[in-house]
Amino acid sequence: MIEVREVKSSKDWKIFVDLPFQIYKNNSFWVPPIKKNELKSFDPSNDIFKSVEAKFLLAFKDNKAVGRVVAIVNWTEVNKLKKSKVRFGWLDYDNDVEILKALLNEVEILGRQHNLEYMEGPMGFSNMDKAGMLTQGYDYKATMIGIYNHEYYYNHIQELGFVPEAEWVEYKFSFSDIEIEKSKRLSDLIAKRYNVSNFNFNTTAELMPYVDEMFALLNKTYADLQSFVPIEKFQIEHYKEKYLKFIHPDFISCVKDSEGKMIAFAITMPSFSEGFKKANGSLLPFGWWHLMRVMKTSTHAEFYLIGIDPEYQSKGINALIFQQLHEKYQKRGIETIETNPILKENLKAQQLWKAFNPITHKQRKTFRKNL
């Protein structure tokens, strides 16, 4: 018999955070989070929970933890965007469809309690969190911003009658496919035509005053996507704390107009996946060393965020971004790039990568069920 209960005690929280390490034991493609950071992000005192309700659940079978999920209501999404849904995220479970059924039944109960119309997941508290169940690419290592899951998740959720909702693709490509001189001529032409230019940050301290401007630009960039939920101020502060320590100025590109206003940016990172694997959930005693080492030695980079002011979209501004990053990457020995998940409906974003002969190596989906 499967019993599902809400996380309450410190013992339960430890089980909740430790469970994926059991589910993916000996899996070379899953990348573990830092446990301390996970617990911190779940703390009820976090500002994220000003607009989000979350219920953390564990499934037990024969007194052994076999699954987990978080049932989530993003009230900004429900009240302002009129999307009447309950989310589910942080889904992990042993290979038994009955465990998944028991966990998602509890999510459904929360949705019904609030008279919501449907449930959807996997997704996080907001659109800045990881989202989408992996449906292709199980033999590729997970990125810092992508969910990894066993293939049986995809089979089981369809078995329970869930249907695809949002869909994403992810690309990888090599810098050897880029004609550097042609790229340089194009970026110079675009810069002259629209009177725009790149600018650099030499330190993280120089970057900090621009972070809020980047998130504001991000809101403008994706406002027309059906699945987008605006990022609020307190959420920006949360993600600054969560990710800023991993961002190095060498992996950022920015473009400004003639008045010095930011019109485009890209935040990328060296791949930390191998570092997180070796850290195995803890920064101490040597986890930090492994992460700092890959910052210097990784030959693979990951795209995290890209934003382009709608007034400048479809004008080739991305040429300046890629040219600037290419110059920086050459100095660091970066050879390959992997994109973040890109919504299939976001054709503008997909167009950005066409010149690089990208390979679609991963796909993911959220799944929906009406209540």
pLDDT in tens, 237-272: 766 666 666 778 888 899 999 998 999 988 888 888
pLDDT at 201: 84
Residue spans of the domains in the chain: they are: 2-170, 172-362
pLDDT at 362: 97
For tokens 């790149």, name the residue. Answer: 198
The DSSP annotation for 201-213 comes to -SSHHHHGGGHHH
Beta strands in the chain (DSSP E): 2-6, 52-61, 64-74, 85-93, 118-121, 133-136, 163-174, 197-199, 252-256, 262-270, 300-308, 336-338, 342-343, 359-370
Please determine, looking at this structure, whether the domain spanning 2-170 carries the CATH number 3.40.630.30.
yes
Which secondary-structure segment (H or E) carries 264?
strand 262-270
102 and 67 in contact (C-beta within 8 Å)? yes
For CA atoms 220, 225, 230, 235, the dihedral sign is negative
Do the domains 2-170 and 172-362 sit in the same CATH topology, yes or no?
yes
Please determine, looking at this structure, whether the domain spanning 172-362 carries the CATH number 3.90.1300.10.
no
Low-confidence ranges of the chain (pLDDT < 50): none
